[in-house]
Amino acid sequence: MAHPISYFQGAILGLLQGVSELFPVSSLGHSVILPRLVGWHIHQNDKFFITFLVATHLATALVLLFFFRRDWVRIVKGLGRSLRDRGIAPDDADAKLGWLLVVGTIPAGILGLLLEHKLRSVFASAQSAAIFLFLNGLLLFGAEALRRRAPHTADDDDTRIARQVGWRDATVVGSLQALALIPGISRSGVTMGGSLLVGLSHKDAARFAFLLATPIIGAAAVLKLPDLAGADARGVRGPALVGALCSAATAYLAVRFLMRFFETNTLVPFAIYCLAAGAACAIYFATT
């Protein structure tokens, strides 16, 4: 049987997805741009490609869940305590963080369900992905220029986040994830940028962004998981498995790297990359 995506293409796209989903550079944008650059007959709205992305996104979500597994255990326990006690204790940072994540995830999920098809249809070209990648760079620069200075405390990471982020902040930052449905706009980029604006440090902004991303990426993948068993997955399941394994490997390396990187660094290098790559690709696509 001919594969609409070869095993080699699946491996390359999986490796790319795992890195670019967590780096603030837009995984969907890169998945749209790369096939056009190298001449692969893969389009983001092809049903087989959407099915392929389900597998790679699920792998990324599972990696994030594993990497922050201790945080999630505490968060789930905190949510349980708050439900049992019918309230959040003033000193229960885990419960507060858990509900912040719920508040941030629900609007993002609703907006995703309502806007996914429309945004994919309107911004379905590599040219538009390149332009939005350039705009993503501007957003990252803007977040750095406007960010609030994070207060210095001796609290652990999750406690700092729970104390600094308000309910409205969580709603706004979480809702920004819906912008990632536009190829070229990064989910982690807009959520990290929004977190900087509400006063988180770069390290805490990255942690909050990855915690926020885990349920929304995982839920979106699980909802579409039946597609892997359907007719649209014929010839895709093997490459999708390879892509998922590759995505898991690079996602794990990426999240380990980024959590250390943002202890002392900023979004500026990623902003420069997005501006340069977005402009170069937009010009190339416009002239070829």
pLDDT tens string 132-167: 999 999 999 999 999 988 777 656 778 899 999 999
Least confident of 18-27, 147-156, 262-271: 147-156
Q: What CA–CA distance (Å, rounded) separates 18 from 27?
A: 8
What is the residue whose two structure tokens read 């750095």? 144
123: pLDDT confidence band, cut at 50, 70 and 90?
low
**Phi, psi values for residue 73, rounded to 5°:** -60, -45
Q: What are phi and psi of 169, to 5 degrees?
A: -60, -45
For residue 236, the 8-state DSSP code is T
Q: What is the pLDDT of residue 82?
A: 95
Residue 232's pLDDT is: 62
| Direct distance between the N- and C-terminal alpha carbons of the chain, in angstroms, rounded to an integer | 33
How large is the angle between the packed helices 187-197 and 7-22, nearest 10 degrees?
0
Q: What is the pTM of this model?
A: 0.90
**pLDDT tens column, 175-196:** 888 888 888 999 999 999 999 9
Q: How far is CA 154 from CA 150, 157, 224, 235, in A?
A: 12, 9, 42, 53
Q: How far is CA 279 from CA 33, 43, 54, in A?
A: 12, 21, 29
- DSSP codes, 190-225: HHHHHHHHTT--HHHHHHHHHHHHHHHHHHHHHHHG
The pLDDT tens digits of the residues spanning 62-108 come to 999 999 999 999 999 999 999 999 999 988 999 999 999 999 998 88
Distance CA 217, CA 232 (A): 21
